[in-house]
């Protein structure tokens, strides 16, 4: 079973590291600040190699809800708060 240990995290320059895959990072288009294009900030390609990473710079302040597409049903989701 997979678990995210942190539901909400406050960071400026996020980096998501893969420990065991496949995983990806998809932002919910209905749960990001107005005007943010989820196509530009999501990592749809699945990461399968250990330590493979995804880095994204967030320029708009607000709450961003995200999930791992393959494991969303297992509760692998969270929220990013950009201040």
Q: Which residues are catalytic?
A: 23, 68, 71, 76
Task: For residue 10, give Cα distances in angstroms to 30, 40, 48, 53.
Answer: 20, 20, 26, 19
> Pairing relation of β-strands 8-10 and 77-82?
parallel
């Amino acid at each position: 079973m997979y678990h995210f240990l942190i539901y909400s995290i406050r960071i400026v320059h996020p980096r998501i590291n893969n420990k065991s895959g496949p995983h990806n990072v998809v932002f919910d288009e209905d749960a990001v600040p107005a005007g943010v294009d989820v196509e530009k900030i999501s990592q749809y390609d699945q990461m399968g190699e250990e330590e493979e990473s995804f880095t994204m710079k967030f320029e708009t302040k607000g709450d961003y809800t995200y999930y791992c597409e393959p494991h969303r049903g297992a509760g692998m989701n969270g929220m990013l708060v950009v201040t």
